[in-house]
Structure 1
Amino acid sequence: MPEQARIQELLTLKTIAETLNSATQLDAMLDTVIGKLLELTGNKSSWIFLSEERMDYSFAADRGLPPALQRNNKEPMRCGSCWCLNRLWDGRLDRAVNIVHCKRLEEARQYSWGDSLGITHHASIPLRSGERRIGLLNVASPGKVQFKDSELALLQAVALQIGGTIERMRLYSIEQRRAKLYARLGEFSTALGLAGAGCTEPEALARQWAGLIGRHFDWPFAAILGRREQQLEVFAVHTEDPAVTNPAGFRCSASMERRLELLAQEHRYAVLSPDESRELLMACSSYSAQPEAGRMTILAAPVPQMSTQRADLLLIASPEAPSSLQPDGEVLEALAEHLAAALESVRLGENRRELARLEERNRLARDLHDSVNQILFSMSMTAKGVEAMLAQEPAGHPAADAVRDIRELSQTALKEMRALIMQLRPAGLEAGLLTALQTYGQQQGLHVRTSRSGIRELPHSLEEGLWRIGQEALNNVRKHSGVAKAEISLQLRTEEAILSIADRGQGGAKRRRAAASGDSLGLRIMKERAEAMSGRLAIRSSIRQGTVVEVTIPLPRQSM
């Protein structure tokens, strides 16, 4: 008899091994293997819980489950915890054991959920692969309250086979996912290069990047986070919810903010806890309201910025189990590096364009200085010499007044040309916009008073645009106001910069602006410069009460 039992055990293990060896899909494998197990051992009911994280499990498979545990789409098995799971999470369940009291079966009897088929007890066997916890195998039969040691040993051997097969499938699935993600990464890189080539605004780039991530990967959520004016914000977000198209603000706890700051200083991706993932989903978008959001895991990777010596964060949410997130994390790191390189490329491209503009202006300034400026100087000297010769005539010469006018006009033109050369080749912006404008005004014979509110760095292109507008406004003060005083103020706000140039002169700028004459050219140029920076120009002018020229320019997000 013992020999027959031994043969039966070996036959059971052989059949289970063959079943597991031919399996390719996890759900189908679990269903088939517990069916074979019940057939070979004579038991009537079996079910499997898969659990890798504490207080988190899934009801994976069952055969012969009593009707009492099948109510409401098997809700008793999908919700709540039980003694065997608690023991598994606490590390106390390390071998096959008899469960004297089953909480789920007791609740079925207590609340009259239905027929339990006489099942009151079951055996619980941990599913493991090495030291990694995978889940639980439960086996029961009607009226059976105790499993023999030999039965528990057989169930333990079967559980080890199941655990090894689950691990093999997990590793195979990870490699499949890694291959798929890296293939999509190549497509993403191509699309990212095209997107970066056609866009220079950082905020627009961030939105494009989030959209590209959503288009090329199966992550249901992606976001780019960073700081703006010392405030953590969402620069761009992608979700599967079409109602969420733009970030609607970012609010998180102080502990989460500190956690994100630490993550931004790391060099590798990080996997956030379930509580942290839920908080970030809630803070970034309304996606947390979706039913499947509770099973999402957030991964975060820093996006280093070489120009600012700091980093933003790239976040994605994955529905994969925490133990299978390594491919997602590797690709997320690669994405962060791609985004950092693309952002740096955009910055370098803007610098190249700015250097080209500066070089062209310098060339024009040199050409004007070497040609027109010298001609005007020669004309002025020639007129002065002719005027001196005509002055020697005893009775005066009829052309003396005309020559004097020529000399004065040439000197005025020379002064204007020198001012134009200085505008083409500005010096002093390194000391600040207000200092440069004050120095320029003093060179024009004006007494300039400056004031400033707010502290932040202006992008070079915007600073130079404001410098050009300020120069033109000061030129108008000198030419048209009739006074030698001007007031300049610069307000730096969170989202905009406001430059104001005011005088208390004779006014009349509105008439000049409306007139279709050469006098309105300067005002049109200022307006065009403001619009080129996506800003607006406003002029307030009253007769004998002065003129205020105010230009408002939107500022980019500082971190980007």
Structure 2
Amino acid sequence: MGDQDHLSELTILKEIAEKLNEGTDINQTLYQVLSQLLDVSGFETGWIFLFDENGNSTLTAAKNLPPALLNTKHKPMCGNNCWCVDHYKTGKLLKATNILECKRLEDASEQNWGDTLGLTHHATVPLRSGEEKFGIMNIASAGKGRFKKEELALLESIAFQIGNAIKRIRLTEQAREVALIEERNRLAQDLHDSVNQLLYSITLMAKAGSSKGGQDKDVFEQIQSISQHAQAEMKALIWQLRPKGLEMGIIYALNGYGDMLGVHVDTASQGVVGLPAQIEESLWRIGQEAINNCQKHAGKNEIFFDFSFKPNLVIMTIRDEGCGFSHNPDLELPSNGLRNMKNRAESLHGSFTLETEPGKGTAIIVSIPF
């Protein structure tokens, strides 16, 4: 490789590093870097798969995919059935490698799913930082059946940069989440110490005024009723900001919240594991919403929680024996509360399942990996 080639490679690495250092959102950053890599390297097509804790791949970024791979009916870019994903999951993909023939492209061509634009092969390279693995990056060009050693080395260098950037962004997101929780806790304490105490004082003063009788008795009683209602609302808001008892575990916190609303919470659990704070709080928020729904809509004052704790997975099953409702699983969830519960689970790469029928109660199953 000549001096000019070395200079060109260093320029590419510098431009990629600058883009990665600017990134704060993983999906957006990966797309921008992939686009830039194709622009400066002369390669034509690229795509990146990231993997969750269960080994399931997600197409996170793609640029210039041919129509065959964009087929909306057959969805060839979904699923784990290809050589590069298989070797990544089994630990055999350790460095940038030539794929002799891409199975996704091969299937698309054989099944006439669309034009492949001359793509048949690609290079694949793992994305990692140290011993931590995140996914794979595939690069292809029309008519290119094999990548040179120098090209694979360049892709491997870029992949290391991408892996380090993914780790940096995720650590930043975790730190931001911790800071947010701390700020909510501080605000909850302030509300408890100031506003809630003032409302309690107003309640006592109104009670004392009404006990004296006289023509203002009705006014004092109304003030007492309003301030008591405001106290209840403030107490619920403080629970929203800082779940009381969550430091004692999610089961303890859910029981406490149920007691506050007059709903009996029956719990069972299998296994013991320490949950990450973000997952524990998300499960709490989902459970809290379920208790609210039980109190408001189920027509019952009892709800059941069953937890299954596994080394890298937690499953929370919530069930009530209330009135239930009609729901078509192919349609959008019918309430903001249920949609929020689903969004919380899926934001952590988990799943949310709703089972309900009129007169047969409601069951919610939440599964979150960690």
Deviation at 1:437, TM superposition (A): 2.7
Please state if 1:426 is matched with 2:243.
Answer: yes
Tell me if structure 1 keeps the 8 A contact 2:307–2:316: yes
Please state if 1:449 is matched with 2:273.
Answer: no
Instruction: Tell me the alpha carbon deviations over residues 291-335 of structure 1, each in whole angstroms, 9 at most, x when there is no partner.
Output: 9878x68463552278xx44534455695988x51x334422321
The counterpart of 2:69, out of the listed 217, 238, 244, is 244
Distance 1:501 1:387, change over 3 A: farther
Structure 2 counterpart of 1:357, one-letter code: L
Query: What's 1:218 paired with?
Result: 42
Distance 1:379 1:212, change over 3 A: same
Aligned-partner Cα distance in 2 for 1:177–1:214: 17
Query: What's 1:300 paired with?
Result: 125
Query: What's 1:343 paired with?
Result: 166
Deviation at 1:284, TM superposition (A): 5.2
Aligned-partner Cα distance in 1 for 2:224–2:357: 35
Aligned-partner Cα distance in 1 for 2:271–2:106: 34
Query: What's 2:15 paired with?
Result: 187
Deviation at 1:500, TM superposition (A): 7.0
Distance 1:235 1:458, change over 3 A: farther
Aligned-partner Cα distance in 1 for 2:230–2:294: 18
Instruction: Tell me the alpha carbon deviations over residues 189-219 of structure 1, each in whole angstroms, 9 at most, x when there is no partner.
Output: 344456x34x455xx6555554443333234
The counterpart of 1:282, out of the listed 99, 102, 108, is 102
Tell me if structure 2 keeps the 8 A contact 1:226–1:311: yes
Tell me if structure 1 keeps the 8 A contact 2:265–2:302: yes
Query: What's 1:261 paired with?
Result: 91
Deviation at 1:429, TM superposition (A): 4.7
The counterpart of 2:337, out of the listed 526, 536, 550, is 526
Structure 1 unpaired stretches of 5+: 1-170, 391-396, 511-522
The counterpart of 1:357, out of the listed 161, 172, 180, is 180
Query: What's 1:373 paired with?
Result: 196
Query: What's 1:45 paired with?
Result: none
User: How large is the RMSD of aligned CA atoms in angstroms?
Assistant: 5.2
Distance 1:506 1:337, change over 3 A: closer
Q: Percent identity?
A: 28
SS of equivalent residue, structure 1 residue 243: helix
Aligned-partner Cα distance in 1 for 2:233–2:274: 32
Query: What's 1:468 paired with?
Result: 285
Instruction: Tell me the alpha carbon deviations over residues 39-63 of structure 1, each in whole angstroms, 9 at most, x when there is no partner.
Output: xxxxxxxxxxxxxxxxxxxxxxxxx
SS of equivalent residue, structure 1 residue 250: coil
SS of equivalent residue, structure 1 residue 261: coil
Deviation at 1:417, TM superposition (A): 1.9
Aligned-partner Cα distance in 1 for 2:274–2:105: 30
Distance 1:188 1:369, change over 3 A: same
Tell me if structure 1 keeps the 8 A contact 2:258–2:265: yes
SS of equivalent residue, structure 1 residue 247: coil
The counterpart of 2:303, out of the listed 486, 492, 509, is 486
Distance 1:355 1:248, change over 3 A: closer
Aligned-partner Cα distance in 2 for 1:532–1:426: 19
Deviation at 1:341, TM superposition (A): 2.7
Instruction: Tell me the alpha carbon deviations over residues 406-444 of structure 1, each in whole angstroms, 9 at most, x when there is no partner.
Output: 545534432332232122112455676566434421343
Tell me if structure 2 keeps the 8 A contact 1:223–1:234: no
SS of equivalent residue, structure 2 residue 231: helix
Instruction: Tell me the alpha carbon deviations over residues 474-523 of structure 1, each in whole angstroms, 9 at most, x when there is no partner.
Output: 2354466564312346799xxxx99775544578999xxxxxxxxxxxx9
Alignment of 1:29-44 (within 5 A): none
Distance 1:412 1:453, change over 3 A: same
SS of equivalent residue, structure 1 residue 249: coil
Structure 2 counterpart of 1:188, one-letter code: I
Aligned-partner Cα distance in 2 for 1:333–1:298: 10
Tell me if structure 2 keeps the 8 A contact 1:362–1:424: yes
Query: What's 2:206 paired with?
Result: 383
Tell me if structure 1 keeps the 8 A contact 2:298–2:321: yes
Tell me if structure 2 keeps the 8 A contact 1:487–1:502: yes
Deviation at 1:339, TM superposition (A): 0.8
The answer to which structure, 1 or 2, has the higher relative contact order (CA under 8 A, 6+ apart) is 2
Deviation at 1:375, TM superposition (A): 1.4
Tell me if structure 2 keeps the 8 A contact 1:234–1:250: no
Deviation at 1:378, TM superposition (A): 0.8
Distance 1:447 1:186, change over 3 A: same
Deviation at 1:366, TM superposition (A): 2.9
Aligned-partner Cα distance in 2 for 1:552–1:368: 32
Distance 1:262 1:551, change over 3 A: closer
Aligned-partner Cα distance in 1 for 2:34–2:319: 44
Distance 1:498 1:524, change over 3 A: farther
Aligned-partner Cα distance in 2 for 1:457–1:240: 42
Deviation at 1:448, TM superposition (A): 1.3
Distance 1:285 1:460, change over 3 A: farther
Tell me if structure 1 keeps the 8 A contact 2:46–2:140: yes
SS of equivalent residue, structure 1 residue 303: strand
Structure 2 counterpart of 1:247, one-letter code: M
